[in-house]
Amino acid sequence: MPKTALKKEKWTLSFDPRLKRLLIKEARKKGIYPVSLLEDVVRERFNPYGHSDVKDSVAHVQAIRKGSGDQSDQAFLKEIREWQKSNS
């Protein structure tokens, strides 16, 4: 059975001109389309525990290790329990 192609919806969003310039500037630095950058930011914001969308795994692990030194063991365990509750 053939797969159906995903149909993307076209939206029109109004942006603050300064925010739009910043988005375009960052997209050019990364060499991607502004829409892709915006989708990545929104996806990351709404999925804070997600790991499937990590682009640079080395930088991601380094950031986690750097941040983990500032967090107590009890706070870390509390975060894990909250994460487990959110997935059940």
For 11-60, what is each residue's pLDDT tens digit?
Answer: 777 878 898 999 999 999 999 999 899 888 887 777 766 666 677 778 87
Q: Report the predicted TM-score, pTM, of the whole model to 2 decimal places.
A: 0.45
In a domain, 71, yes or no: yes
CB 22 within 8 A of CB 30: no
In a domain, 8, yes or no: no
In a domain, 11, yes or no: no
In a domain, 4, yes or no: no
In a domain, 5, yes or no: no
CB 36 within 8 A of CB 27: yes
In a domain, 1, yes or no: no
Q: How many domains does the chain have?
A: 1
In a domain, 38, yes or no: yes
Distance CA(62)–CA(55), nearest Å, equals 13
What is the domain extent for residue 65?
17-87
**Residue 35: what are its φ and ψ, rounded to 5°?**
-65, -40
